[in-house]
Amino acid sequence: MGMSFGYGPAKEKQEMISLLRKAVELGVTFFDTAEMYGPFTNEELVGEALAPFRKQVEIATKFGFKISPKGEQSGLDSRPEHIREVAEGSLKRLKTDVIDLFYQHRVDPDVPIEDVAGAVKDLIREGKVRHFGLSEPGVQTIRRAHAVQPVTAVQNEYSLWWRKPEAEVLPTLEELGIGFVPFSPLGRGFLTGKVDENTTFDSSDLRSTLPRFTPEARKANQALVDLLGEIARRKKATPAQIALAWLLAQKPWIVPIPGTTKLKRLEENIGAAAIELTSDDLREIESAASKIKVEGARYPEKLEQLTGR
């Protein structure tokens, strides 16, 4: 997402194509995009970059937003006919004949989830989609969708500074045998230790609108980064690697998707897979993290209302 949208101006296309191809060379096999990122430009980027490696990788994309002629998000739309339109557009932009994982980007309260699951089931039957996913759903929605078309993966924000999925979502996924894909596993960059109370954000960077990223909240939340830094020093790693290793240690069916636009960070993120956190390390992180109160809401209220339905 960050290559095209959300974290300041879009990055230079050829540079990002090279980075995506380098990721494949380094062993990355799972790439996450959405028609909404850009909109449309991120799917085009991913499609062009991965075309030579299509058989080696899995590509996830998403449907469910209404996009105005000006290219702005203008509400939700998960009507079955719209899902089909999005799938056709995504297939073209991704230069592929099948979408490996097709997520509903946000639950649409105006369309029964059974109709959404049924529409994706039809696309799977036709060979245009392989697997069905949900992003930021509530547990009842997961159960209802899964009864119509098995859900392969649920995507939610999850990291050491946003642990709400642990209460209900993770136990439900474990019970139903559904994989979990944490987005923003590095807390939108905060857990890397590269962001502090003095960092400034471009007006096109969504962090400039998030309560958790006010200077006061960043100052208060620094304690969490300090904790990661302390463990990282002992493990000869970076705070980002410890944050990712912590996620990987939670369940074997968790696949975090850190985003980056820099080769150095790509290599750093991949390095997290080699870091072993012992049960003592995990207990220590748990104990220290439980004493830290994370300040600031994750989203402004209007955006938060779109989650957990």
pLDDT digits over 48-85, tens only?
A: 999 999 999 999 999 999 999 989 899 999 999 999 99
Residue 179 lies in a domain: no
Residue 62 lies in a domain: yes
Count of alpha carbons within 13 angstroms of residue 230, beta-carbon side: 11
Q: Which residues are within 8 A (CB) of 141 and not within 5 positions of it... i.e. 6 or more apart?
A: 107, 113, 134, 309
* Confidence band of 274 (pLDDT split at 50, 70, 90): very high
pLDDT digits over 128-174, tens only?
A: 999 999 999 999 999 999 999 999 999 999 999 999 999 999 999 99
Say whether both 82 and 225 belong to one domain. Answer: no
Say whether both 234 and 148 belong to one domain. Answer: no
pLDDT digits over 177-216, tens only?
A: 999 999 999 999 999 999 999 999 999 999 999 999 999 9
Say whether both 206 and 243 belong to one domain. Answer: yes
Query: How confident is the model at residue 103, as a pLDDT?
Result: 99
Share of the chain above pLDDT 70, in %: 100
Which domain does 261 fall in, by range? 185-309
Residue 219 lies in a domain: yes
Q: Report d(CA 283, CA 301) in Å as an integer.
A: 33
Q: Report d(CA 222, CA 157) in Å as an integer.
A: 19
Residue 292 lies in a domain: yes
Query: How confident is the model at residue 222, as a pLDDT?
Result: 97
Say whether both 214 and 145 belong to one domain. Answer: no
Domain harbouring 86, CATH code: 3.20.20.100
Residue 23 lies in a domain: yes
Query: How confident is the model at residue 229, as a pLDDT?
Result: 97
pTM of the model: 0.97
Query: How confident is the model at residue 135, as a pLDDT?
Result: 98
Would residue 299 show up in a list of annotated catalytic residues for this protein? no
Residue 170 lies in a domain: no
The number of folded domains in the chain is 2
Instruction: Check 7, 37, 103, 158 and give the catalytic one.
Output: 37
Residues pairing with 30 in the sheet: 58
* Confidence band of 256 (pLDDT split at 50, 70, 90): very high
* Confidence band of 45 (pLDDT split at 50, 70, 90): very high
Residue 105 lies in a domain: yes
pLDDT digits over 94-134, tens only?
A: 999 999 999 999 999 999 999 999 999 999 999 999 999 99
pLDDT digits over 217-248, tens only?
A: 999 999 999 999 999 999 999 999 999 999 99
Say whether both 41 and 147 belong to one domain. Answer: yes
Q: Mean pLDDT in the chain? A: 97
